[in-house]
């Protein structure tokens, strides 16, 4: 097995030749994950913020699962919003995903996305279980 492993998931791709995630040992880093499907095709994105946000978090969960982890392994999210007015809706989904305030990842929120139709996008850093055993943290 190569030291660096590219992580791919069904239904999501970038328009450039990069994987959605990269694992080295027990560290997982994602590229930009958004609420669309393949590339940056506007037709693959829900029009509403909530729909894009749900799909973005689903893509994060899928990348983590493909790498042998889960949302419990995430140490930090860096999230970009297209519109600052969407922060309350982001916070609603955040609290639903991470209901325990004593067990939430760190988070940074900035403004500005890669394309006007992309209303939310993120990058994630996760610490997975032992790379040799493929296990995750409990």
Rounded Cα distance between 106 and 46, Å, is 27
Q: Within 13 Å of residue 25, how many CA atoms lie on the same side as its CB?
A: 2
Cβ–Cβ under 8 Å, residues 68 and 132: no
pLDDT for residue 137 is more than 80: no
Query: What are the pLDDT digits (tens) for 8-25?
Result: 999 998 888 999 999 999
Query: Which pTM was predicted?
Result: 0.90
Specify whether domain 4-127 bears CATH 3.30.70.20.
Answer: no
At 112-133, the pLDDT tens digits run: 998 999 999 999 999 998 644 4
Tokens of 103: 């067990």
pLDDT digits (tens, 9 = 90+) for 12-69: 988 889 999 999 999 999 999 999 988 888 999 999 999 999 999 999 999 999 999 9
Residue 102 token pair? 């004593």
Residue (of 95, 100, 35, 24) closest to 62 by Cα position: 35
Of how many residues is the chain composed?
138
């Amino acid at each position: 097995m190569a030291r660096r492993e590219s992580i791919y998931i069904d239904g999501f791709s970038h328009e450039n030749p990069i994987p959605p995630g990269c694992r080295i040992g027990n560290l997982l880093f994602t590229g930009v994950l958004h609420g669309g499907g393949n590339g940056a095709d506007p037709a693959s994105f829900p029009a509403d913020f909530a729909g894009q946000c749900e799909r973005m978090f689903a893509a994060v969960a899928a990348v983590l699962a493909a790498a042998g982890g889960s949302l419990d392994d995430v140490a930090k999210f860096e999230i970009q919003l297209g519109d600052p007015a969407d922060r309350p809706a982001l916070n609603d989904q955040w609290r639903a995903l991470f209901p325990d305030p004593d067990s939430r990842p760190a988070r940074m929120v900035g403004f500005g996305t890669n394309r006007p139709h992309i209303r939310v996008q993120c990058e994630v850093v996760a610490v997975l279980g032992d790379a040799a055993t493929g296990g995750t943290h409990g």
